[in-house]
Chains A and B, each alone.
Chain A
């Protein structure tokens, strides 16, 4: 009998291999690591947002159990600063500790290592510190004012000055002409909130230096082994092959663990000094303060339309709050803005950006990477324009989007959209929610709103000219396969979906494939897991490696069986002659030949069965005018929300939420569904509750899960209206697109539009909390305005209410940035 091995695993909802350990509590996270002789470090953090300080650590050094104390001053000249990823330039504005001035609450000032955690905490209390407070600046539009307190007076930025550490500029087409010829101009200032990654597994590490081998091993809850390794080794001036970074189970990151952190450097120094393993895991309050937050943006957006609803131009001045320091901050503006313009191929684009430091939590990467912020502005303006032109919001979108049958298409902004089904996604979502009926028969305090978004699938960052990942595979001598990768799984299901790919290509049983724990000392070089890149970029490397490995295996089989390699097929854990699937040679035997019976190998065959592949996406660098195709392919989707607002309390209930996505070829529907649900949840938190709230002195008031209003399970609607309309990528060999972030981008705007439809209140700031909603409803009644903008139309609002009061970009019209 001939078995059909063509029944492939790619495309099937294979239950996640990872889940058993997660659900039974046997997974080991960073705080579960125990090593012989392990000692504990704790960090003294600034209680001021902006201050000079003086330090005396002499008492702490004599406290019981204390093995070491570190301060910034003593590391100057010994440890190298590292820094913001600027265009082509690394600004060394990150250091293990503040030296004599702090720029945000929570910044590292000193650290102690002791035999126990509690001794370390006691010793921290014995550090004498005197602050000399400085005025603080907490908001982005205040930070650019000439009299604003200066955070980093000693840094020279290539494209900025003062608190502006970088600028952004896009010049596509002729915006003046678009404006002059427009039938309709809509303008609005939108601001967005700061949001935490809020991964339940906190940031932390265990550093272990072995003085015999001279090897420093860092176990860290990180998304990127090699980024951490290279920066850490550089900072400590160690050879990179003597620094090994290993990730335990990582309980999510969402972008917030995609960089090196001071605590990783501090723990490493302590371990180098003491020769003992050093545990340094951050508390929740520390994670909120220094674990990086979404960059807040103020966008002054103008859009130009023709009568029929066609978009002719987009102008924007964005001021981004990247906090006291920011590794990824400027990239968020560049990439988020570029990709965030989709799915509209707008012909004339004019954007200026000032990217600033404020005395608030560091701005980092976070799910969506700038796209939720621009989507919040642009997709609400689409609704405003539709209403001005008397068009249905679905129609105005439909006539402007990139359509599947136009692909491949290059937009004026330079994006090469290889495939998309965004037009079908829109149509499907409209149908499922009953859009036309709900718009026509509106009920009091109920409304529907939509948003379209496209999301990059991985990305060539302007600051690094690379977008690669790699896989090494080894066919073991019992016919099992080991996958080596440095791209850390933190919820994406690497062990599952990579095994699906390998199983299909090699014909090896799914259960025989194991993903080795991520370890920089044995895994091939890759950039890490972020930017929705796992399935597309790592998955492609995996497919390439598997194909290379298969070629080698088949070569041995052809030699032993004395047949032509072209006549052989893989399946059922063996290599067989086409049509004879119950004969052939088991992979186990072939692997055995490859290492134990090398005389059986074809002449010249290099023994062992391993294959490595690295995939670097065919993407562009950013051009001086801001254009370029940074992403290998684009996922996307249409979200429609149906909400009800309680006019007595301002509480908003989501009655229904439809998501229709294009994720290309779906490797594992179960995983992709989970990603979309999680992506939605993150968008929901940003829309309705999560925020970094500061007092006037820059103290964070929301540094606990009690105060920080992340959504609870009870706040999440049934997400049963979740659909995929795959438009397989033609650039990625397997057709897959990124799934991790496309669920987040459209949520805020979809909910904002639904709230506006329900109540006539147009939110221009986030989050839309019950208190804001209720006060807006009351004020709307009092004012008699038919459309009421919150907060722009509130009596006590002190920001710019209209276009006339908008600030102008600070950069002037000089050189282009690149």
Chain B
């Protein structure tokens, strides 16, 4: 580490001003699970660190009137894992409870995971697949953007230097007729080689209207297999068994990671994993109760 000035604001407004006042070198610290590693190795040398851990509204979980789930950016994975969620929100608990190790889950936060924007991590994939809204604040006021617009295609986030991610708003528990998440990692505490989520909405007749198939670990930001997803539209969930699942999986793989570009062993492995994982997600979605 190199020396820095440490602030622990007790409210959001104070945090906004501190960030604005101390300039672009300032780093926010949520759980510190990524930031501290960088500080310890002197890979990051911020003159100022502003902690988000003492701001109550950042770690609150609540519901909006329409049933949307509002999660404070500094909510820890451990909190999310224990939360009494219903419907597809239960997948948020499951994902939060099955990443990194226990100590990282106790300290690490969903907002930190989003802002770290490491494509191998599960949070960005979850956010993009579920079409979450990201509520961002700064001394200039509050705004909200789509998760897909939060992650920059070149890597990292589109946050400005004075911005703080305040809340993540997930669509209501009943929105998805089916939701699935899967990943492959070498060891249980490793970041994923490939992770994937499939979120499906249906119309009154039970036909698929949207099938968002998203992969993490492939590019610098979550990759959406739009064309493969589109092939599912119009189909009934319980008709999945009749779909050419392997073919759709292969298409998804080619779409997000063209085999011609998969020249390394790692890339070829990812290409195969996408097929395996997609096949699994599609099969699961089509299964009763999927």
Contact = CB atoms under 8 A, between A and B. Distances in A.
A770 B183 CA distance: 14
Contacts of A121: 42
Interface in A744-793: 769-772, 774-775, 778
Interface string B174-194: 000000000010111110010
A481 B165 CA distance: 66
Given A118-B1, A649-B273, A778-B272, A712 B265 contact: no
Interface residues of A, number: 20
Interface in A700-739: 706, 709, 711-712, 714-715
A25 interface: no
A437 B104 CA distance: 45
Contacts of B269: 650, 770-771, 774-775
A428 B63 CA distance: 62
Interface in A359-407: none
Contact of B187 (A712, A772, A774): A712
Nearest to B276: A648
B236 interface: no
B272 A689 contact: no
A715 B266 contact: no
A771 B276 contact: no
Interface string B1-28: 1100000000000000000000000000
Interface residues of B, number: 19
B199 to A, nearest CB: 22
B265 A689 contact: no
Nearest to A711: B187
Nearest to A647: B276
A304 B190 CA distance: 44
A650 B276 CA distance: 11
Given A648-B276, A649-B273, A778-B272, A772 B265 contact: yes
Nearest to A794: B265
B268 interface: yes
B188 A771 contact: no
A774 B272 contact: yes
Contacts of A649: 184, 273, 276
Contact of A709 (B187, B265, B268): B187
Given A121-B42, A648-B276, A649-B273, A689 B268 contact: no
B259 to A, nearest CB: 12
Nearest to B269: A771
Contacts of B276: 648-649
A770 B186 contact: yes
Interface in B57-81: none
Interface string B187-228: 111100100000000000000000000000000000000000
B189 A712 contact: yes
Contact of A715 (B1, B187, B265, B273): B187
Nearest to A283: B41
Contacts of B186: 689, 709, 769-770
A780 to B, nearest CB: 13
Contacts, number: 43
A775 B272 contact: yes
Interface in A612-648: 648
Contacts of A706: 190
A653 to B, nearest CB: 13
B190 A775 contact: no
Interface string B258-273: 0000000110110011
A714 B187 contact: yes
Nearest to B41: A285
Nearest to B191: A706
Interface string A513-528: 0000000000000000
Contacts of B268: 771, 775
Given A771-B265, A771-B266, A775-B265, A714 B42 contact: no
A227 to B, nearest CB: 33
A291 to B, nearest CB: 18
A341 B273 CA distance: 40
B196 to A, nearest CB: 13
A701 B202 CA distance: 46
A708 to B, nearest CB: 11
Nearest to B270: A771
Contacts of B265: 771-772, 775
Contacts of B189: 712
Nearest to A710: B187
A116 B18 CA distance: 31
Contacts of B184: 649, 651, 770
Contacts of B1: 118
Interface in B261-290: 265-266, 268-269, 272-273, 276, 279-280
A772 B186 CA distance: 12
B273 A712 contact: no
A775 B275 CA distance: 13
A769 B273 CA distance: 14
Interface in A566-601: none
Nearest to B266: A771
Contacts of A712: 187-189
A715 B190 CA distance: 12
A805 to B, nearest CB: 22
A435 to B, nearest CB: 30
B122 to A, nearest CB: 16
A774 B276 CA distance: 11
Counting chain B CB atoms within 10 Å of each CB, the highest count among A121, A709, A770, A771 belongs to A771
B188 A714 contact: yes
Interface in A649-703: 649-651, 689
A118 B42 CA distance: 11
A328 to B, nearest CB: 30
B48 to A, nearest CB: 18
B166 to A, nearest CB: 30
A193 to B, nearest CB: 15
A282 B171 CA distance: 49
A563 B138 CA distance: 95
Contacts of B42: 121
Contacts of A118: 1-2
A715 B273 CA distance: 20
Contacts of B272: 774-775, 778
A650 B273 CA distance: 9
A715 B42 CA distance: 32
A672 B190 CA distance: 32
B261 to A, nearest CB: 15
A689 B187 CA distance: 9
A712 B188 CA distance: 8
Nearest to A772: B265
A715 B1 CA distance: 33
A649 B273 CA distance: 6
Contacts of A770: 184, 186, 269
Contacts of A771: 193, 265-266, 268-269
A178 to B, nearest CB: 39
B113 to A, nearest CB: 16
A693 to B, nearest CB: 11
Interface string A104-146: 0000000000000010010000000000000000000000000
Interface of A: 118, 121, 648-651, 689, 706, 709, 711-712, 714-715, 769-772, 774-775, 778
Given A706-B190, A769-B186, A774-B272, 12 more contacts: A118-B2, A121-B42, A648-B276, A648-B279, A648-B280, A649-B184, A712-B189, A714-B188, A715-B187, A770-B186, A774-B273, A775-B265
17 contacts: A118-B1, A648-B280, A649-B276, A689-B186, A689-B187, A709-B187, A711-B187, A712-B188, A712-B189, A769-B186, A770-B269, A771-B193, A771-B265, A771-B268, A771-B269, A774-B269, A778-B272
Interface of B: 1-2, 42, 184, 186-190, 193, 265-266, 268-269, 272-273, 276, 279-280
| Closest CB pairs A-B (n = 9) | A771-B269, A648-B276, A714-B188, A712-B187, A649-B184, A774-B272, A775-B268, A709-B186, A771-B265
